[in-house]
Amino acid sequence: MEARKHSALKDSIRSIPDYPKPGIIFRDITTLLSDPRSFRRAVDSLVHPYAGGQVDQVAGIEARGFILGGAVAHQLSSGFVPIRKKGKLPHKTVSLEYSLEYGTDHIEIHVDAIKKGDRVLLVDDLIATGGTATAAVNLLRQLGAEVVAACFVIDLPEIGGAQKLRDLGVQVRTLVEFEGH
């Protein structure tokens, strides 16, 4: 049944060629989110391995990680912590700069969002290069979190982001894979 669930999830994701630039195929989960059955299956599949009090906080990466992470946190009876782009959080934050293909970016989190020793599950929609996810793991660890795992609906394994997280000692869970970029 699990293989069928994941096949149905993959079928619910829209692929948009040449977006945001030529040669890229954008994997759009808004079609998954708008289908109640697919959305439920995705959240249940992300939650299942961590049920039973293993997670204190779910951290979601802006922006689709907020949607998925909030639903996962609800199902786990855990708190939810947003990881945002610099300048978007209203209280005192800790920030981390990380490298992109062309340049750098910053993510941040409220300084009091995580307590030392909190078991945190990181959630986002897709893992590609792993730059943002790696920065998020490092930011969470900087605040004293134990990153239990990082979960994504989609993996683009050819790009190698999931392996970067594994190399940091983070368990990675993904639901579907797509070839290419």
Please classify residue 179 by burial: count the beta carbons closer than 10 Å to its beta carbon, then call 0-12 exposed, 13-18 middle and 19+ buried: exposed
CA-nearest of 72, 165, 172 to 81 is 72
CA-nearest of 106, 100, 122, 118 to 168 is 122
Active site residues: 64, 101
Q: In sequence order, what E strands does the chain have?
A: 14-17, 25-28, 57-61, 79-85, 93-100, 103-110, 119-127, 146-155, 172-177
